[in-house]
Amino acid sequence: MKRDVLIRLLAVTAAALVFTRTAAADDAPRAEPPPKAAAAAAAAPQPAAPPPSAPAPPPAPAAPSGERSAERVPAAVPEQPAEARGAAATRKTLKQLGDLLDRDWKSRPEWAEMAIAILKEQNMGMGTGWWHPSSKRYDWDWLRKRLDTNGDGRVEPAEMAATAPGSESLFARLDTDRDGVLTASDFGDSGRGGSPIARMVSMLFAKLDKDSNGRVSTDELADFFVAADRGGFGYLTPEDLRMALEEPAPRPGEARADMPAPEQMLEMLFTGQLGALEPGPQLGDQAPDFTLRTHDGAREVRLSELRGKPVVLVFGSFT
Amino acid sequence: MYSRYSDRAGFYGVYIREAHPSDGWSMESNERAGIRIEQPKAAEDRVRVASQCCTALEMAMPLLVDGIDDRVGNAYSGFPDRLYLIDRDGRVAYKGGRGPFGYKPAELEQTIIMLLLEDMLHTREAQPE
């Protein structure tokens, strides 16, 4: 399986290299019908991306500014360092590669999904791109077929109680939008955790929970208040709250903090720093057995010995 | 969730490799919380960080520590975070998305509830009145 991953990686890398070489030649003519001279310049392997109105091939007059004459940038075009143009061309190439892989590689493993998301520079965020969705045995349809006995498209508490006695306490936990009946809107991304307000709440919570232990204490609440009350007035206005919660916008031209460039991200992906490259068991598969010790060494747990009771596994680390 | 369902399901944390160690893809949010952790290189380091984590996060559920070869984390594609629900026959009933963005405890809870419901329905079918 590791070997398979490596082979695919090689294929992707090779493709990336080929594209990087040819990108510059491809890009300029597509932007606008080029004058003959620009087409000639574009056909040359260097420079990476000629400006749209690039003059004839060398020798051209140096820019009057006197900076880096080797670049042959006409005075009218703003100065752009060669490496920036090279990086922009690489980005564009990687995006093209991402688009192509996305289009032509339909049945792909999760690591490829991550690679493509990186290539396409998709936003990493709740519910957008990048992360493969979960797979679950039960959904709204499953529930409706079993519990919607009168077939009206919703499950009322009485229906659930009649079909599954003893389940009363579970009803409220399933009714995520708290309208007193179970419908499709209680499930999937429209349910708990998926609504805009839920996303805002998780953002607010993350801001409040300074030590990230999943619990907000009175002290943390007080610290947040003091920090948000910039004037020290002893109260908060909506504007104070907004300023305290909203991340500052990245400076123009700067990447998001903590977010490496796509090339670095790819390297991190294939060195296993972004996520395991292995697929893991699929829905309905027998869960791979393992024996591990608890952190305090007190006992050893063997998964297969836990049969007879459902088991939740929570994979994660400190950071 | 642990306290709500722990009588009806087993809950285990599996401590795997660090997602944002100070010597890897470090994160400002960790620094702000005063957390600086190097990627454990030996089994006993990993146990030590796992214990630190358990104390700091006041974890109630038992925390299992993966081998330094990441065998369990890899077998389950667990890195950096992932949730699973395994049914009573040892089959996967829920495979969460990869964290942090695919980490959806609410989905897991729905699946736990419906797994319990299914058991109730079966029990009822098995012994009518």
Question: Hey, which residues 35-74 in chain A have their CB within 8 Å of chain B?
Answer: none
Contact B85, B76 (CB under 8 A): no
Q: H helices within A70-191, ranges in order? A: 82-104, 110-119, 140-147, 157-163, 168-174
* Best mutation target, B2, B48, B65, B84, to test chain A (most A CBs within 10 A): B84
Q: What is the identity of the amino acid at A49?
A: A
Compare all CA atoms of chain B with the CA of A307 and give the residue at the minimum distance.
B88
Which residues of chain B does A215 touch, with a Cβ-Cβ cutoff of 8 Å? 58
A38-85 residue pLDDT tens: 434 334 333 333 334 433 344 434 434 444 444 444 445 556 667 777
Q: Is B61 helix (H, G, I), strand (E, B) or coil?
A: coil
Q: Average pLDDT, whole number, for chain A? A: 74
Best-predicted range by mean pLDDT among A150-159, A269-278, B28-37?
A: A150-159
**Residue bearing the bigger pLDDT, A269 or A80:** A269
Which of A58-62, A286-290, B44-48, B90-94 has the weakest average pLDDT?
A58-62
Whether the CB-CB separation of A147 and A164 falls below 8 Å is answered with yes
Helix (H, G, I), strand (E, B) or coil at B92: strand
Query: Is the CB of residue A203 less than 8 Å away from at least one CB of chain B?
Result: no
- Nearest-CA neighbor of B95 among A164, A136, A264? A136
Residue-wise pLDDT for A182-213, tens only, equals 998 888 654 445 667 777 887 888 888 887 77
Task: Take residue A56 and report the two structure tokens written for it.
Answer: 């004839």
Percentage of chain B lying above the pLDDT 90 cut: 28
DSSP A304: G
- The tens digit of pLDDT for each residue in A233-250 reads 999 999 998 888 887 776
For residue A237, count other CB atoms closer than 10 A to its CB.
13
B89 close to A (CB below 8 A): yes
Residues 28-87 of B with CB under 8 A from A: 28-30, 32-35, 37, 47, 49-54, 56-58, 61-67, 70-87
- Whether A171 and chain B come into contact, CB under 8 Å, resolves to no
**B contacts of A126 (beta carbons < 8 Å):** 101
Element holding A311 (H helix, E strand): strand A311-316
- Asked whether the beta carbons of residue B91 and residue A286 sit closer than 8 angstroms, the reply is yes
